[in-house]
Amino acid sequence: MKRRLGLAVAALALAVGLFLLFGRGWVAQRAFDRAIDKTVGIDQSAALPDGLHAYVCGSGSPMPDASRAGPCIAVLAGKQAFVFDAGSGSIRKLGRMGFPMPKLQAAFLTHLHSDHIDGLGELMLQAWIAGARTAPLPIHGPAGTEQVVSGFNQAYTIDSTYRVAHHGPGVAHPAGFGGAASIITLPDGVDSQTVYDSGGVRITVIRVNHAPIAPAFGYRIDYKGRAIAISGDTVYAPDFVAASRGVDLMFHEALSKTMVSALGRKLAERGQTANAQIMHDIQNYHASPEDAARAAREAGARALVLYHLVPAPPAKLIEPLFLGDAPRQFPGTLKLAQDGMIVSLPAGGKAINFSSAF
Ligand SMILES: [Zn+2]
Ligand SMILES: [Zn+2]
């Protein structure tokens, strides 16, 4: 009996030993195979219902943040996709979110502050290769966009020759490289106008107030009775409110004056006068969370998502300090944006569904 038990223990020890020697590799291989089988080469957006879907590719601001990319909201409208601003790191987030790059029709810029454009080179590259483009990506934006796009085109030209030579023109179609600027001009006295109208998707550009940076734009996207408004950088702007009337979902930038003032005081105390000055200057061309709440309430938006958070609350515990009185000033659903957030507005209904890709 004892001998049998001894043999069983020895066999078990041998099995555990063999598993530790060879089994871990097998388990790792199985896990990897399963993961790629579930994700690689699959259009994850195909599972979404027809409607409008907003991908938060960047909820941050120029402030360094390990978990938030620079400002970027992508929108899937039926079979067409669009990107609004391309902050630093945002395009990699889009890739992780399963955004359907081959459906990308165009990019739209709200203004030309660096935090909104510094991912543009990566967007143009991903649109070209992952999106299999055969013509440059249209990039709509205010005057000056032509200079920005031509600079990125120039910076990426050497890389493009490597890719065409290495993968061949069937994979990297030479004519699909880069971006093509398209300048949006709003005549004096005109505060909003349609800039895209195709396949049931209408995109409206809206003048916002980010003075002294002008022009600066917000956008509204309409598709099958659902609508999203994106503020870009602005203070409370009556024109944005007027053009956003009745949207299901509003993305509005937000800066906490309480928190930014405290940062400024601390920087001044520590002798960093230039940085303290910046904390002072940025307060007059951004909206507070309360301003954003007012804009969304007056527009009759059903949900408000604050993005371009300055500063992004580093912990859930600090969120009430950032939000201030905003939750009491907006009667609908109010959330702080997170990278990876997807907000779905299925066509033919009123649902607003929040989920996260990460
Ligand atoms: Zn700005
Ligand atoms: Zn900004």
Question: Can 33 be counted among the known catalytic residues?
Answer: no
- Cβ pair 231, 216 in contact under 8 A: no
Q: Which DSSP string do the residues of 93-141 spell out, in sequence order? A: HHHHTT--GGGEEEEE-S---HHHHTTHHHHHHHHHHTTT-SSPEEEEE
The overall average pLDDT reported for the chain is 95
Point out the ligand nearest to the CA of residue 307.
2
**What is the structure's pLDDT at 178?**
97
What does the pLDDT average to over 14-39? Answer: 86
Centre of ligand 2 to C-alpha 12, Å, is 61
Centre of ligand 2 to C-alpha 85, Å, is 10
**What is the structure's pLDDT at 1?**
60
Centre of ligand 1 to C-alpha 234, Å, is 8
Confidence of residue 144 (pLDDT cuts 50, 70, 90): very high
**What is the structure's pLDDT at 6?**
77
What does the pLDDT average to over 61-90? Answer: 96
Percent of the chain whose pLDDT exceeds 70: 99
Centre of ligand 2 to C-alpha 176, Å, is 29
**What is the structure's pLDDT at 54?**
98
Q: List, as ranges, residues with CB under 5 A of the ion ligand 1.
A: 113, 233
Q: Which CATH superfamily is domain 47-356 in?
A: Ribonuclease Z/Hydroxyacylglutathione hydrolase-like (3.60.15.10)
Centre of ligand 2 to C-alpha 8, Å, is 67
Which tens digit of pLDDT belongs to each residue from 83-121? Answer: 999 999 999 999 999 999 999 999 999 999 999 999 999
159's enclosing H/E stretch is helix 145-167
What does the pLDDT average to over 55-75? Answer: 95
Q: How many CA atoms lie within 13 A of 299 on its CB side?
A: 34
Res 10 pLDDT > 90: no
Point out the ligand nearest to the CA of residue 87.
2
What does the pLDDT average to over 56-71? Answer: 95
What does the pLDDT average to over 314-336? Answer: 96
- Which residue of the set 115, 233, 248, 339 is catalytic? 115
Centre of ligand 2 to C-alpha 112, Å, is 9
Confidence of residue 24 (pLDDT cuts 50, 70, 90): confident
- Cβ pair 220, 227 in contact under 8 A: yes
Confidence of residue 285 (pLDDT cuts 50, 70, 90): very high
Point out the ligand nearest to the CA of residue 255.
2
36's enclosing H/E stretch is helix 24-39
**Distance, CA of 54 to CA of 82 (rounded, Å):** 10
Point out the ligand nearest to the CA of residue 310.
2
**What is the structure's pLDDT at 83?**
98
**What is the structure's pLDDT at 12?**
81
Centre of ligand 1 to C-alpha 192, Å, is 19
The domains of the chain are located at 1-40, 47-356
Which tens digit of pLDDT belongs to each residue from 191-229? Answer: 999 999 999 999 999 999 999 999 999 999 999 999 999
What does the pLDDT average to over 299-318? Answer: 96
Mean pLDDT is lowest, of 17-21, 48-52, 236-240, for 17-21
Which tens digit of pLDDT belongs to each residue from 227-276? Answer: 999 999 999 999 999 999 999 999 999 999 999 999 999 999 999 999 99
Confidence of residue 23 (pLDDT cuts 50, 70, 90): confident
Instruction: Read off the pTM.
Output: 0.93
